[in-house]
Amino acid sequence: MPVALVGLPGSGKTAVGRRLAQRLQWDFVDTDQLIEERIGCTIREFFEREGEGRFRDIEAQVIGEQGRTANTVLSTGGGAVLREENRRQLRQSFHVVYLRSSPEDLYRRLRHDVKRPLLQVADPLGRLRELFSARDPLYREVAHESVETGRPSIQALVVEILDRL
């Protein structure tokens, strides 16, 4: 069964996903990267020009296209779980792993980030707390496994996920 990683921005979906795919000798697919190829600009630019709703439509299209391709690790955008259709698609076609991080840990990692449109606000920690409250239940609903990302290194997280597959 292919694996999909879900979690808030900064939880390590891309870094862990890449390493996990290497260890398994599987393909690594990042939906944000597929979206940027499709829209021909960065996600941040697209949010500014077209708004979040249009971005979510394209995200749903891209997730809908990810079938049951064996031997794939899929990294999703943090908001992929917002739409019910995406949650259904991910849960049906993938073994879904939630990389669970506290807003404080995420803030420490993302303080200087300029790529993520949702965090370009006066109070990014407050925003991360809101995102955590709104989405933690959705990540839990969609996930088959949940892994805490607080302390462990990427390597340790990969080993923990491999143990659970």
Per the annotation, binding residues for substrate are: 32, 56, 78, 135
12 binds ligand S3P (CB under 6 A): no
> Rule CB under 6 A: which of 102-141 touch ligand S3P?
116-118
Going residue by residue from 78 to 97, which x/- string records binding to ligand S3P, judged by CB under 6 A?
xx------------------
Closest to ligand S3P by CB, 9 vs 103, is 9
Q: Which residues are annotated as a binding site for ATP?
A: 10-15, 116
Report helix, strand or coil for 25.
coil
Under DSSP, the state recorded for 82 is: G
Q: Evaluate whether 7 touches 139 at the Cβ level (below 8 Å).
A: yes
Report helix, strand or coil for 101.
coil
- Give the residue among 94, 87, 105 at the shortest CA–CA distance from 150: 105
State in angstroms the smallest separation of the CB of 81 from ligand S3P: 9
State in angstroms the smallest separation of the CB of 69 from ligand S3P: 20
- Whole-number Å distance between alpha carbons of 53 and 8: 18
Q: Which burial class, exposed, middle or buried, applies to 111 when counting CB atoms under 10 A from its CB (0-12, 13-18, 19+)? A: exposed
> Rule CB under 6 A: which of 20-79 touch ligand S3P?
32, 43, 77-79
Binding site for ligand S3P (CB under 6 A): 9, 13, 32, 43, 77-79, 116-118
